[in-house]
Chain A
Amino acid sequence: MLIAAGSTEAALAFVEIGAVALGLAVLARLAGRLGITAVPLYLIAGLALGEGGAVQLDVSESFISLTAEIGVLLLLFALGLEYSEVELREGLRTGVPPGLVDMVLNALPGVALGLLLGWEPLAAVLLGGVTWISSSGVVSKVLADLGRLGFRETPAVLNLLVIEDLAMAIYLPVVAALIVGGSLATTMTSVGIAVAVVSVILLAALRLGGPFSRGLAGGSDESFLLAVFGIILLVAGVAQRLDVSGAIGAFLVGLALSGEAERRSVRLISPLRDLFAATFFLFFSFQIDPADLFDTAVPALGLALVTTCTKIVTGWFAAARVGAGPRGRVRAGTALVARGEFSIVIAALGAGLVDGSRLGALAAGYVLLTAIIGPLAARFADRIPVPARLARERAAA
């Protein structure tokens, strides 16, 4: 159909998609210049193009919605790839206390605000997820750009990201099951099934990830790419069928890959991920009503400020555990401020809820703010005054 000569519909779709892709390319370059992630700019672009926006896309919307779905899968797959199973096991061994502090300090403000706004509890729990998870992409990029990878507090920051990744492996399927809902009994069963399925896959990934990766690693780039892409979609499809959320399936596939297969996936899937994920962020904000964004601006700003402070406290606590001084602890905290791709994925899960549209708008505004505040705070972390009482702590210890 699409290749038939003179198909005006296809021609129009090509022009639309091409123009959108070029626009995103300009935004990605601009973000690179500014030293921030492109995610907030994609969200703004989506607002301009979506419902009530300046320009309407019609023909290509169904295409973009499917690529957006694939984008989430590849995004989560890449997030799962980021850490090897050895790093995950190491993270679990040492990182649980800071991980708990992270969850309590950063998820609670989101949940509290959601309840305060009179949202249904589930939407509030999702907002807690939005404020909880730092953007591992932004954090590691900021640390590398500022030349802080060798700093003493950096392992604490990175380990926290590992723990957040693992926490998501439980959080996402549980809330996905809760969203599907039903009576109390069926909800409990589906949550139980979700946790059981994820635990089994996670254990298998940690135990059998090696042989699985080695079996996959052979062959040409072409066959490898197709195999990995196929496995991601298959596992995601099966997970979705079991009400566990396809994204989590893709995430677990990423966790399971290690060694040679992991390196090749990073090289081969990353370009695909960038392409599809950009459409995901775009599509996410297509559905946001600019009026909602305006209404939620004040809560988003307040939430961003509060959770900036709570992330700094989290970083302070985590870095203190590895023996970093007060300055290093502040640096660790500011590095963690930026939220990003995970927050949007979480908000997207709740799109079908009664308060889903406001949740989406608030999350978009919130990610926009923290993605700008985060890298700036990290850059000027050394100028943030540390209370004298706390600064002396090191000498005492």
Chain B
Amino acid sequence: MRETKLPGVGVRHDFTTGDGQDVGVLVHRDGRREILIYDAADPDVCSSLVSLSAPDTRTLSELLGASQVTEAVATVQQEIEGLAIEWFPIGSGSPADGYSIGDGAYRTKTGASIVAVIRGDQSVPAPGPEFTLVADDVIVAVGTTDGLATMRDLLHS
């Protein structure tokens, strides 16, 4: 990734995709961002694909980022044999709703560990036993396939 400063305007970042397409992001001083696509015939020239406000940028990066997390998880699963990672959304009727992780004694019962809880657009890494789960949280757990299946039952039944 290359960075170019534009005095009085902001900063431009660009990189070349695997297909050889040059893509840039122009970050204006006021936080507005533009996505730029460079012309294949004349690499000096680009067209602005879309202009995004700060909230728009967050929305787009979430869309792009979500698939990235899934990809990363898939890679980890492949690397450690026998170990699986799963995401469990907590429904409003779940027995875990309103109880702490310690209350559920998940590790004792399943051997799988809760490594993170995603709440809204925030993620809490390595939550302690005192962490209280609520509906709409998403639990990220690591364990054996059997252990994770047991956890799914505990959370959903």
Asked if residues B8 and A87 are in contact (CB atoms below 8 Å), the reply is yes
A22 to B45, CA, bound (A): 41
Within 8 A of B (CB), among A141-156: 144, 147, 149-155
Kindly supply a per-residue 1/0 record for chain A positions 48-91, scoring 1 wherever the CB is within 8 Å of any chain B CB and 0 otherwise. Answer: 00000000000000000000000000000000001100010011
Asked if residues B44 and A328 are in contact (CB atoms below 8 Å), the reply is yes
A325 to B44, CA, bound (A): 7
Asked if residues B42 and A327 are in contact (CB atoms below 8 Å), the reply is yes
Closest to A160 in B: B7
Answer whether residue B155 sits at the interface, using C-beta atoms and an 8 A cutoff: no
Contacts of B29 in A (CB 8 A): 263
A147 to B48, CA, bound (A): 7
Contacts of B5 in A (CB 8 A): 87, 90, 155
Answer whether residue A308 sits at the interface, using C-beta atoms and an 8 A cutoff: no
Contacts of A152 in B (CB 8 A): 43-44
Within 8 A of A (CB), among B1-43: 4-9, 12, 24, 26, 29, 34, 36, 42-43
Asked if residues B36 and A91 are in contact (CB atoms below 8 Å), the reply is no
Known contacts A325-B42, A325-B44; is A149 also within 8 Å of B8 by CB? no
Q: In angstroms, how far is the closest chain B Cβ from the Cβ of A87? A: 4
A159 to B4, CA, bound (A): 11
The one of A140, A151, A158 in contact with B46, judged by C-beta atoms closer than 8 angstroms, is A151
Contacts of B7 in A (CB 8 A): 82-83, 87, 90-91, 155, 158-159, 161-162
A235 to B9, CA, bound (A): 27
Answer whether residue B123 sits at the interface, using C-beta atoms and an 8 A cutoff: no
Most-contacted residue by chain A among B6, B24, B42 (CB, 10 A)? B6
Q: In angstroms, how far is the closest chain B Cβ from the Cβ of A381? A: 11
Q: In angstroms, how far is the closest chain A Cβ from the Cβ of B25? A: 9
Helix, strand, loop or mixed for chain B's interface? strand
Contacts of A82 in B (CB 8 A): 7-8
A328 to B42, CA, bound (A): 9
A161 to B12, CA, bound (A): 18
A152 to B43, CA, bound (A): 8
Asked if residues B8 and A150 are in contact (CB atoms below 8 Å), the reply is no
Most-contacted residue by chain B among A150, A153, A155 (CB, 10 A)? A150
Asked if residues A136 and B8 are in contact (CB atoms below 8 Å), the reply is yes
Most-contacted residue by chain B among A152, A154, A159 (CB, 10 A)? A152
A side interface size, CB within 8 A = 25
Asked if residues B6 and A155 are in contact (CB atoms below 8 Å), the reply is yes
Interface size class of B (residues with CB under 8 A): 10 to 19
Asked if residues B12 and A150 are in contact (CB atoms below 8 Å), the reply is yes
Contacts of B34 in A (CB 8 A): 149-150
A136 to B8, CA, bound (A): 10
A20 to B36, CA, bound (A): 43
Contacts of B8 in A (CB 8 A): 82-83, 87, 136, 140, 158, 161-162
Q: In angstroms, how far is the closest chain A Cβ from the Cβ of B19? A: 19
Most-contacted residue by chain A among B6, B7, B29 (CB, 10 A)? B7
The one of A140, A155, A161, A162 in contact with B4, judged by C-beta atoms closer than 8 angstroms, is A155
A123 to B87, CA, bound (A): 76
Contacts of B92 in A (CB 8 A): none
Contacts of A153 in B (CB 8 A): 44
Q: In angstroms, how far is the closest chain A Cβ from the Cβ of B80? A: 42
A187 to B42, CA, bound (A): 53
Contacts of B48 in A (CB 8 A): 147, 150
Answer whether residue A324 sits at the interface, using C-beta atoms and an 8 A cutoff: yes
Asked if residues A327 and B44 are in contact (CB atoms below 8 Å), the reply is yes
Answer whether residue B47 sits at the interface, using C-beta atoms and an 8 A cutoff: yes
A151 to B7, CA, bound (A): 14
Asked if residues B36 and A150 are in contact (CB atoms below 8 Å), the reply is yes
Closest to A324 in B: B44
Closest to B12 in A: A150
A75 to B48, CA, bound (A): 31
Closest to A163 in B: B7
A155 to B44, CA, bound (A): 12
A280 to B42, CA, bound (A): 43
Closest to B37 in A: A150
Contacts of B44 in A (CB 8 A): 151-153, 324-325, 327-328
A158 to B7, CA, bound (A): 6
Most-contacted residue by chain A among B24, B29, B46 (CB, 10 A)? B46
Q: In angstroms, how far is the closest chain A Cβ from the Cβ of B44? A: 4
A387 to B26, CA, bound (A): 32
User: Can you show 10 pairs from A to B with CB atoms below 8 A apart?
Assistant: A147-B48, A150-B26, A150-B36, A153-B44, A154-B6, A158-B6, A158-B7, A325-B42, A327-B45, A328-B44
Task: Beyond the given A150-B26, A328-B42, please list 14 additional residue pairs across the A-B interface where CB-CB is below 8 A.
Answer: A82-B8, A144-B9, A147-B47, A149-B6, A149-B34, A150-B12, A155-B5, A155-B12, A158-B9, A159-B7, A161-B8, A162-B8, A325-B43, A328-B44
Which 7 A-B residue pairs are closest in the complex by CB-CB distance?
A328-B44, A152-B44, A87-B7, A150-B36, A150-B46, A158-B7, A162-B7
